[in-house]
Structure 1
Amino acid sequence: MNAARAPPAVVQTPGFAHYALAWSPFHTTRLALASAANFGLVGNGRLHLMAMGLNGVGLEKQFDTQDGLYDVAWSEVHENQLVTGSGDGSIKLWDIMLNDLPIRAWQEHTREVFSIDWSNLQKEFFISSSWDGNVKLWSPDRPRSLLTLNAHHACVYQALFSPHQPDTVATCSTDGTMKIFDLRSPSYVPAPPGSATLPPPMHVAALTVPASPTEVLSLDWNKYRPWVIATAGVDRTVKVWDCRMVKVGGEGGQVGAPCETQMMGHEYAVRKVQWSPHRAELLATASYDMTCRIWNTAASPGQPQLLDILDPHTEFVVGCGWSLYEPGVLATCGWDSRLHIFHV
């Protein structure tokens, strides 16, 4: 592990536990935090806007919500807009140049919205996933969702667009599976413009991988290897899958899924995984063991290397994110109400 590392920049937001963070795709020093009072169990939420400067990192602005916020994603088309997912099932679009109120809100999910992802290929769309088992596709200009994926029969912890294929979405769930959906599939019909009814849901996944005997809490697409995905969850193991190697049988079925690499070392469930946008082999993992770990997944065949353990947090680390512009800059957030920014 690296012996020398610059001390982290840190900021604390008392009274609000952090659930997720997102770096702005437009501004090199700006990031957003999705937070909740009382660890997200009950109470209000808060969207924090942070900025890095010569004197460290500081709070620029904040927005309060009636329920806890579990995820946040920046718009890919408007530098001042971002979208949040809430514990009351709502999704809100914010403009940071305006005060207090969201500029648009949607209420279709019947349970907590646990992840939000904005497509960086089809920049007019974002997706949400919920504990109600559904994933929904949205456009910020439309009053209703464009389509619904009945992705799992259990909580969907995360849904992410592929950074390589614009119509491909990966999901992970309480049921221990990772699924891949092709939005071009004929098994759904998008809602026509101005429609007063929701489109029929899509059920069939293009691929289903039994990724864990327990809950899969997080996944991420590798930014350089198009069909490589990392997953992690309650079993404390981080796994890397090459989906081209999966043998498929039946309709969306799976009969053999060789795991390319496994990383073990976290003492409790792994809450977040994220590949570096600058290096294909570099992976960050955040865990309930209060650490974030940095891995080299290509150190040797089947033998990943643990590069570093970041452990300044005093509570669960539930979010991590690599800077989109500064190689080696990593932010982490957790239930101790702290945001740390490292140079690793």
Structure 2
Amino acid sequence: MLQFRTQGFNGTAVKYSPFFDNRIAVASSANFGLVGNGRLWIFELTAQGIQPMKWFATQDSLYDLSWSEIHENQVVTASGDGSIKLFDCTVNDFPVQQWKEHNREVFSVNWGPIEKDKFCSSSWDNTVRIWSPHRQQSLLTLPIHSCTYSATWSPHNANLLSCVSSDGHVRLYDFRTPASASNHQVMTFRNSTPRGTPGLDKLPPNATIPNEVLTQDWNKYRPNVLATGGVDTAIRVFDIRACEQGAATTMVGHNYAVKKVAWSPHLSSVLLSASYDMTCRVWSDNSETVPAGQELEFTRSGPTLGRELGRMARHTEFATGIDWCLFGSEGWCASVGWDENLFVWDVRGSMS
């Protein structure tokens, strides 16, 4: 396990570069993101450990970041002052571009993995916006009518975007549909667990009603599968073709809110989570035994309980960000937390 302390700045998000196997970016904030400056860190993994390659100071907290999919040296960040900034690792001190249309904190940014000339942002101002790095104004605004914590592009469909928010719902938008009163929204469903799920007694009493949803991620191998996490401590896996009755799989074990979930880029049934209980955990949704083409039958056969495969408990404050390495062996990942620590570790070493 490798470790680096971002002294004076509490980590909020971490991302591996999609271009370099040894480069990591971290978004951080002074004073736990409540007040003060932010800092974007660019690290390289070397034979001497984690080495800071570059950092950029910002006037307000940074809550999220995403690497550009078209330029190997550029990172876009989400800021507490409502701004979005694009930094270039080869340019000193200042962002190469910035946008300011959100009127409250920007809490997430996500670069399109298919149509790589656009990215999205979500904000506490109840909107999701679509952007192009080549334009000064946003391309589209989606009113969510609720504080929106995360917006994410599907890795399988360039026209499909999902978002999760404080009203306890997941929303899907398909930009192939005509613009109308629905603003391209094609689906909305509650982030809830069916009452027939085994082990329901392990969930909080309010787990069957909508709770604030803080994070989400699309499965990299199964186009219709989406995982969510939120304040009721549960991680849920939905198949969007059959989500009316609730989650197909629920994963229970965290003691406090789930801040981040991330599906493995190597294994279709494995995902990571980071929680306010100061742990990062690796899970299986039990789909690894399902034959190809029978995923929907597995979903409709009844709700199931996922398995915790292991955990990493080195953080001493809230664990706030995790990401998988896209290269090499399938177990490497990075995590950050409010304890000012960046850890790079092998999931396989934490599995029982």
- TM-score with structure 2 setting the length: 0.87
> Which of 269, 274, 294 is the matching residue for 2:262?
274
Note the C-alpha offset of 1:203: 3.4
Contact kept, 8 Å, 2:150 with 2:165, in 1: the verdict is yes
Matches within 5 A, 1:9-88: 9-88=2-81
- In structure 1, the partner of 2:301 is none
1:239 to 2:236 alignment: yes
Q: 2-side partners of 1:322 and 1:39: how far apart?
A: 24
> Which of 158, 161, 178 is the matching residue for 2:150?
158
- In structure 2, the partner of 1:207 is 187
- In structure 2, the partner of 1:93 is 86
Q: CA RMSD of the aligned region, Å?
A: 1.3
Identity, in percent, stands at: 48
Amino acid at match of 1:35: S
Amino acid at match of 2:258: V
- In structure 2, the partner of 1:324 is 326
Q: 2-side partners of 1:339 and 1:155: how far apart?
A: 28
Residues 189-220 of structure 1: CA distance to partner in whole angstroms, max 9, x if unpaired?
Answer: xxxxxxxxxxxx96352100111421000000
Residues 262-316 of structure 1: CA distance to partner in whole angstroms, max 9, x if unpaired?
Answer: 0000000000000000000011010000000001112677242211110000000
> Which of 91, 95, 111 is the matching residue for 1:118?
111
- Secondary structure of 2:323's match? strand
Amino acid at match of 1:229: L
Amino acid at match of 1:260: A
Q: 1-side partners of 2:178 and 2:226: how far apart?
A: 25
Note the C-alpha offset of 1:56: 1.7
Q: 2-side partners of 1:281 and 1:95: how far apart?
A: 35
Amino acid at match of 2:140: L
Q: 2-side partners of 1:332 and 1:140: how far apart?
A: 28
Contact kept, 8 Å, 1:124 with 1:140, in 2: the verdict is yes
- TM-score with structure 1 setting the length: 0.89
Q: 1-side partners of 2:161 and 2:174: how far apart?
A: 7
Residues 23-70 of structure 1: CA distance to partner in whole angstroms, max 9, x if unpaired?
Answer: 111000101001000000000000000111112212111000000000
Q: 1-side partners of 2:134 and 2:112: how far apart?
A: 15
> Which of 124, 127, 135 is the matching residue for 1:131?
124
Q: 2-side partners of 1:163 and 1:260: how far apart?
A: 21
Note the C-alpha offset of 1:245: 1.1
> Which of 156, 163, 167 is the matching residue for 1:175?
167
Distance 1:166 1:61, change over 3 A: same
Q: 2-side partners of 1:88 and 1:303: how far apart?
A: 40
Note the C-alpha offset of 1:259: 1.4
Greater shift in the superposed pair: 85-94 or 177-186: 177-186
Note the C-alpha offset of 1:185: 2.2
Unaligned runs of 5+ in 2: 193-209, 290-297, 299-303, 348-352
Note the C-alpha offset of 1:322: 0.5
Residues 224-248 of structure 1: CA distance to partner in whole angstroms, max 9, x if unpaired?
Answer: 00010000100000000000113xx
- In structure 2, the partner of 1:220 is 217
Matches within 5 A, 1:248-267: 256-267=244-255
Contact kept, 8 Å, 1:86 with 1:114, in 2: the verdict is yes
Contact kept, 8 Å, 2:262 with 2:322, in 1: the verdict is yes
Amino acid at match of 2:215: S
Distance 1:33 1:202, change over 3 A: farther
